[in-house]
Structures are given as C-alpha cells and as structure tokens.
Amino acid sequence: MNKGKILITPRSLSKNGHPGLMDLETAGYEVLTPFPGVMPSKEQLKEILPGCIGYLAGVENISAGLLEKCPNLRVISRNGVGIDNVDKKAAEKMGISLKITPGANSRGVAELTIGLLFSLIRSIPQTNTSIKAGNWNRLKGMEIQGKNLGVVGTGMIGQQVISMATGMGMKILAHDLYPNKSLGNRDDVDYCSMEKLLHGSDIVTLHCPAGKTPLIDETAILQMRQGGYLINTARAALIDAPVLLSALESGKLSGYAVDTFDKEPPELTPLLQHKKVITTAHIGGFTTESVDRATQASVKNILDVLRTVDS
C-alpha cells in the first residue's frame, strides 16, 4: 500500500540514489527524485511538493509561500544541521516537523577545513596550476606548529577542527555565544572575545550560523592580523564580499578559502576569481561516510515522524 510520496532533493542522493532510501520504500512510501543532481527551482518545487507527505531536503529555499501550498506535508528532514533555508514559522504554523542530522557531516567538513588550511598556507592549488602551465613558481609557505587558529563556532564541526589542529601543534583562540565547558578547561584552547580572536589569529575559520549582517565586515577585517588567512565552510552570508576583496587586494589578508555560496553553482564574482581565493564546490559533507550517516539519520527522522502521525 502506498502511504504517500516523499520528495528527495539533496544532490548527493537525487543523482545516484542511496541504499538508505530503500527504508522509505520498505515502509510503504513512494520515493521521488525528479531533479537528479541539480537543485530544484521554486517553480519546480511548487509543482511537486504539494503532493508529498515527507520531504528529505537539501539547501534549496523553502519559503512560507511554498509550504502554504502543501497541506499534506508532515515532515521536512535536512541531511545536515542548517535549517536557515526553511521558513520555520510557516512550518510550525502548518504543523510540519523540522528535523536535522546533527554531527552527520561534521567529520567531513572538519577534514576539508584542515585541507583548505594547508592549501592556503602552502599555495598548493596555485603551484599545481603553475606547473601544469609549464611554469616553475616556488611560493614560500609557513608551518602551522605554534601558530594561532581562530575557531568561530565550537559546535560539533568546530570541536573536531580544534582536535585536529591541536594535534598538529596549533594553539586555539575560540569564540562561541555558548562556549563548550570542556573545551574551556583545556590549556591549548582560549575562549575569548571576537575582537581578541581576530587580533591574535594567524588563520581564522568559521563554523557558525549567519546573522542578519555579515560577521566578517570592515571592522572585523581591520582587527585581523596583517597577512592573515580566512576559511569559510559555514555560510556565504558571514562575509562582506566587497570588503574581503579589498583586503585581499591590499595585502591585509593573504588568502581566503570558501566552500559555501549564496547560490550553487555561484556567479563568478571578482572575489571568487581572485588569485588569492581557493574555492571548492560545497564538498565539506560530500564524502562517502558523511553521506551515509546523513542519509540514514534523515530517513530515520522521516519515518519516526510519520509513524507518530499514523499511530
């Protein structure tokens, strides 16, 4: 018996599927993947979501106007932790449960952060491009032992970044609105103000939600160390792009690495095309292990909600 339709839109699942989705079919639900490998548009979602009871969602915008057209929708499950793409008030008003998968992709994002750190301070992408173009440009880098890493946001991802970085001899300046008490007791982690973090860090990495205004604005840039580096695997809205571009061009910052964009694929802005900027295609959580964990958890979230509704 068909208990209802469940829409699957994360690109990591819609293109090639995943064994974890079979649990939905086994439970009697019809799984829909009408947009393989691409993020659906608002118009496409309006065509198909109103007929669904469940929604395993990606990073696409889920507006109040869309949800109001979905009287049968009972659950939205994100295969990640961010739900700032969902109108939460509208979902609550409609009686739609919002579920996330905390920690599912933390390791993948943390490992990418460390990879981007090395790519920045050792100019790995630039040197690779240079050699393949027939050139031999040796760019001097720096070693990380004894350097200060500023970690903004000490949730699951931030904590794993700290663990990896301290294991390689880095010192941590951390900032979070809700500090982790266990981290605060460590000798190699200094919870401090945002200003102190920016002043004292050789490299700053962002692992926090976005606010109404950019976190890294002109004031923040001025507070950062001359020649410092910035890594953003969290949210594009955390950055004031024109200000950051000016900082790179002036030499105030030596490099920026980013794995998150306002839209995907992004518009090739002067910032993203800058020679001091390293870009990756939102691959932080795009590992076999992270996808497996997130899929299993998000499917379980859907089934748990629908079983409650059915009972």
**Which contacts qualify for 293-296: CB closer than 8 Å, 24 or more apart?**
293/101, 293/103, 293/104, 293/105, 294/79, 294/80, 294/101, 294/104, 294/105, 295/13, 295/18, 295/20, 295/21, 295/79, 296/20
Sheet containing 253-258: which strands, arranged edge to edge?
189-191, 171-175, 148-152, 203-206, 228-232, 253-258, 277-279
User: What tokens does 232 get?
Assistant: 């953003």
Catalytic pick from 138, 264, 267, 274? Answer: 264
- Decide: 47 and 70 in contact? Cβ < 8 Å: no
Is 282 one of the catalytic residues? Answer: yes
Is 74 one of the catalytic residues? Answer: no
Q: Compute the distance between CA of residue 56 and CA of residue 8 in angstroms, rounded to an integer.
A: 5
Catalytic pick from 282, 289, 293, 307? Answer: 282
Catalytic pick from 107, 225, 235, 293? Answer: 235
Is 235 one of the catalytic residues? Answer: yes
**Which contacts qualify for 275-280: CB closer than 8 Å, 24 or more apart?**
275/126, 276/248, 277/248, 278/116, 278/119, 278/120, 278/125, 280/112, 280/116
Active site residues per annotation: 235, 264, 282
